[in-house]
Amino acid sequence: MIFNEEFETLPREALESLQLKRLKHIAERVYHTVGHYHKKFEEAGVTPEDIRSLDDLKRLPFTTKQDLRDNYPFGLFSVPMTNIVRLHASSGTTGKPTVVAYTKRDIETWAELMARSFAAAGLTRNDIIHNAYGYGLFTGGLGAHYGAEKLGASVIPMSGGNTKKQIMLLQDFGPTAICCTPSYLLYLAETGEEMGIDMKSLRLRVGILGAEPWSERMRAEIEGRLDITALDIYGLSEIMGPGVAMECLEGRNGLHIFEDNFIVEVIDPATGEVVPNGQRGELVFTTLTKEAFPLIRYRTKDISRLMREVCRCGRNFVRMERVSGRSDDMFIIRGVNVFPSQIESVIMEIEGLEPHYKLILDREGSLDTLEIQVEVSEKIFSDEIRQLQNLERRIAKDIKDYIGISAKVKLVEPKSLQRFEGKAQRVIDKRNI
């Protein structure tokens, strides 16, 4: 189902004309209202009048998360505080939080984008949506909530945590869709099974999952354990929140970016140069409709590629491949670039391994080391030690063959690794401790 035919099916030429018009307007506005951008434009030797085509976008300066921190808390707002109706912020685990703001119109735009996302998942006003994204300063919970209401669906504002109560409500309220991180949905399924509940008997038919990278193998695991269709949603607090892009039920091959509201580029993260069509790199977004907190060429650090083939759903927006990782999640072991999702893909190909793992980076002398801790099923864990050692060697060999790195593999007992209610934290780096 398409929520907004006017924009979601625009012919490419009309869409790009709209983007150019909106880009000129947003550049003009930030140049005159945000001191940071005025300075950055001058340093780049460019003014809003220099934007005559979409190709001129690459002349504009990048914005980074450090720019947001340097202007903490309100230095990048482009409207007076009297026009701002809501503030959100990141957790600030690596420094000061990044603060984002919304006008009344921004909230309405966000709700529209989330309603589009739910519609792309096949949801209608007849659905009940169980929202297990966190409410509060994190954008996930309220973003999904307002979108569900915009769609006309019923919403259960559960938020994160309290897992056994979540399962009780999934049984008693009968929601048809759930919003959360993929790792938390697996945890819900696991906990329900431990409670003796047939999780496939729930009324759930769709999971709208995001906020962390996940693999096709994890999708298959989720769908198999819950008998649902698992779909990917993408967003960033800095750009809008969830609802920047959404996988459609019909295609299930890449996420449609709502290009009437955002311009997307893919760059080489090392050089900053735009890469050729279809090549993987770092996603960069420019907001076209945000009033309170517009961003020019924001570097997300998320790694993906763009897909321009026509989708069977009828939407004309470009699609992005599921994010394979973040450039700041990537680690280097003896000269090899590695994303946790690559290791996950290898692990989940092997029968008997659970989709729960931890990567521990350390250093012995001058050499980096990697230990991969992986949970196994009860049946595998009960095998004799030699069989477990053989399985560890097989996993290490597959990691070496497919990724090109040497790692120590340690199989651990079921349910021994930490579970997460929000984004899963897979990597522990001890090299600089």
- How far, in Å, are 44, 267, 331, 368 from residue 336 at the CA level? 34, 20, 8, 11
The angle, 0 to 180 degrees and rounded to 10, between the axes of the packed helices 12-33 and 35-44 is 110
What letter represents residue 416's amino acid? S
Same domain, 300 and 269: yes
Same domain, 51 and 193: yes
Which domain-ending residue is among 272, 294, 326?
Answer: 326
Which residues fall within 8 angstroms of residue 105, CB to CB, at 6 or more apart? 291
The angle, 0 to 180 degrees and rounded to 10, between the axes of the packed helices 216-226 and 340-347 is 50
Q: What are 35-92's pLDDT values in tens digits?
A: 999 999 999 999 999 999 999 999 999 999 999 999 999 999 999 999 999 999 986 5
Query: Given its phi and psi angles, is residue 366 left (phi above 0), alpha (psi -120 to 50 degrees) or beta?
Result: alpha
- Please report the pLDDT score of residue 93 as a whole number: 45
Nearest to 88 by CA among 118, 114, 68: 68
Q: What are 249-304's pLDDT values in tens digits?
A: 999 999 999 999 999 999 999 899 999 999 999 999 999 999 999 999 999 999 99
Structural domain tally of the chain? 2
In this structure, the number of other CB atoms found within 10 A of the CB of residue 261 comes to: 23
- CA 101 – CA 64 distance, rounded (Å): 17
- CA 71 – CA 174 distance, rounded (Å): 45
Q: End-to-end distance of the chain based on CA atoms, in angstroms?
A: 51
- CA 9 – CA 21 distance, rounded (Å): 18
Q: What are 140-172's pLDDT values in tens digits?
A: 999 999 999 999 999 999 999 899 999 999 999
Beta strands in 202-240 (DSSP E): 206-209, 229-236
Average pLDDT over residues 173-193: 95
Query: Domain containing 351: what range?
Result: 331-429
- Please report the pLDDT score of residue 366 as a whole number: 63
Same domain, 226 and 350: no
Mean pLDDT value across the chain: 92
Is the pLDDT assigned to residue 15 strictly greater than 50?
yes
pLDDT band, residue 405 (cuts 50/70/90): confident
Is the pLDDT assigned to residue 377 strictly greater than 70?
yes
Same domain, 266 and 163: yes
CATH number at residue 412: 3.30.300.30
- Please report the pLDDT score of residue 433 as a whole number: 58
Is the pLDDT assigned to residue 365 strictly greater than 80?
no
Q: Considering all CA atoms of the chain, what is the largest pairwise distance in Å, rounded to the nearest integer? A: 72
Which domain-ending residue is among 326, 353, 377?
Answer: 326
Average pLDDT over residues 7-33: 98
Q: Percentage of the chain with pLDDT > 90?
A: 72
- CA 411 – CA 392 distance, rounded (Å): 7
- CA 157 – CA 350 distance, rounded (Å): 37
Same domain, 294 and 361: no
- CA 30 – CA 36 distance, rounded (Å): 9
Contact 282, 221 (CB under 8 A): no
Which domain-ending residue is among 302, 326, 350?
Answer: 326
DSSP string, 348-400: TTSTTEEEEEEEEEEEETTEEEEEEEEEE-HHHHTS-HHHHHHHHHHHHHHHH
Q: What angle do CA 229, 232, 235 make, to 5 degrees?
A: 150
Same domain, 103 and 210: yes
Helix (H, G, I), strand (E, B) or coil at 50: helix
Helix (H, G, I), strand (E, B) or coil at 124: coil
The pair of three-digit structure tokens given for residue 52, joined into one six-digit string: 């005559």
Same domain, 216 and 349: no
Is the pLDDT assigned to residue 343 strictly greater than 80?
yes
In the block, residue with structure tokens 């659905």: 127
Same domain, 113 and 225: yes
Span of 177-191, 220-234, 418-432 with lowest mean pLDDT: 418-432
Is the pLDDT assigned to residue 334 strictly greater than 80?
no
Gyration radius of the chain's alpha carbons = 22
Q: Percentage of the chain with pLDDT > 70?
A: 97
Same domain, 381 and 269: no
Same domain, 337 and 406: yes
The pair of three-digit structure tokens given for residue 87, joined into one six-digit string: 């503030």
In this structure, the number of other CB atoms found within 10 A of the CB of residue 63 comes to: 24
CATH number at residue 242: 3.40.50.12780
- Please report the pLDDT score of residue 419 as a whole number: 80
- CA 197 – CA 177 distance, rounded (Å): 18
Same domain, 173 and 300: yes
Same domain, 319 and 346: no
Tell me, yes or no, if the pTM score tops 0.75: yes
Is the pLDDT assigned to residue 421 strictly greater than 80?
no
Contact 104, 79 (CB under 8 A): no
Nearest to 140 by CA among 238, 37, 235, 225: 235
